[in-house]
């Protein structure tokens, strides 16, 4: 199963792969060069298909938990001063995605979207300390009955050049449902109240909509 954000790219990649493979078969006489080129094209197509995959998952929804919004590795767990929305200290948990991860972004909690904003910006590597404030990004805040306002921020990286955000202010959303998509690697930050119980550790591998980041 593939995510809808990949439909156009997958069709283009498939058409190019077939066209170039046929051209190689017709016009390249050297057998080694011919099949090497075809093999490279097939590998590239497989990588694109893998990137846009959207596997079926069985989510366990719980109002007393905050789920990871994306697949990847936990790279930050720290108390920070968040100045875009809260203007106060919050607990930040950040998940870094490599190009081979599933790149669907999911709502960590369910509730009402109270803030959704896109910020143009730079393309620093996603683990750069200033990427959260200076890179292209979207900020979404969902009001949860248990946790209050929970902010998650999609951040573009050196490779990710397009962030897709589905959240609209006033929308009622369900935990683990699609919040957006980041194309070609990056990271997502989640900002929580300071009194939550953290259920993950640094460098832990997490799954979007499955792994519990924090709980009451």
Predicted local confidence at residue 164, as pLDDT? 87
**Spans of all domains in the chain:** 4-51, 65-215
| Residue ranges in the chain assigned as alpha helix (H) | 7-27, 31-51, 131-134
Predicted local confidence at residue 187, as pLDDT? 87
pLDDT at 133 over 70: no
The Cα 101–Cα 181 span in angstroms is 12
pLDDT tens digits, one per residue of 91-126:
999 999 887 888 899 999 999 999 999 998 766 655
Active centre residues (catalytic): 186
pLDDT at 54 over 70: yes
Q: How far is CA 119 from the centre of its chain?
A: 16
Query: Residues, the chain, total?
Result: 216
The answer to whether 143 touches 111, Cβ cutoff 8 Å, is yes
pLDDT at 213 over 90: yes
pLDDT tens digits, one per residue of 149-193:
999 999 886 555 578 899 999 999 999 999 998 876 688 999 999
Question: How many CB atoms are located within 10 Å of the residue 191 CB?
Answer: 23
The Cα 51–Cα 28 span in angstroms is 30
pLDDT tens digits, one per residue of 17-30:
899 888 888 888 88
Higher local confidence (pLDDT), 47 or 22: 22
Class of 65-215 in CATH = mainly beta
**3-state secondary structure (DSSP) of residue 8:** helix
């Amino acid at each position: 199963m593939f995510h809808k954000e990949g439909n156009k790219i997958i069709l283009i990649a498939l058409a190019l792969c077939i066209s170039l493979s046929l051209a190689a078969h017709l016009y390249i006489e050297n057998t080694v060069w011919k099949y090497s080129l075809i093999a490279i094209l097939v590998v590239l197509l497989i990588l694109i298909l893998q990137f846009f995959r959207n596997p079926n998952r069985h989510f366990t929804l719980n109002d007393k938990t905050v789920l990871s919004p994306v697949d990847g590795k936990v790279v930050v767990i720290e108390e920070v001063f968040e100045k875009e929305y809260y203007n106060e200290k919050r607990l930040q948990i950040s998940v870094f995605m490599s190009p081979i991860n599933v790149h669907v972004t999911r709502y960590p909690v369910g509730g009402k979207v109270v803030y959704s904003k896109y910020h143009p910006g730079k393309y620093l590597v996603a683990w750069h300390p200033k990427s959260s404030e200076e890179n292209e990004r979207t900020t979404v805040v969902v009001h949860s009955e248990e946790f209050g306002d929970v902010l998650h921020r999609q951040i573009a990286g050196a490779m990710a050049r397009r962030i897709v955000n589905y959240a609209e202010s006033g929308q009622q959303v369900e935990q683990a449902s699609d919040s957006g998509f980041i194309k070609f690697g990056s990271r997502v930050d989640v900002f929580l109240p300071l009194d939550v119980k953290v259920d993950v550790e640094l460098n832990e591998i997490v799954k979007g909509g499955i792994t519990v980041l924090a709980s009451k």
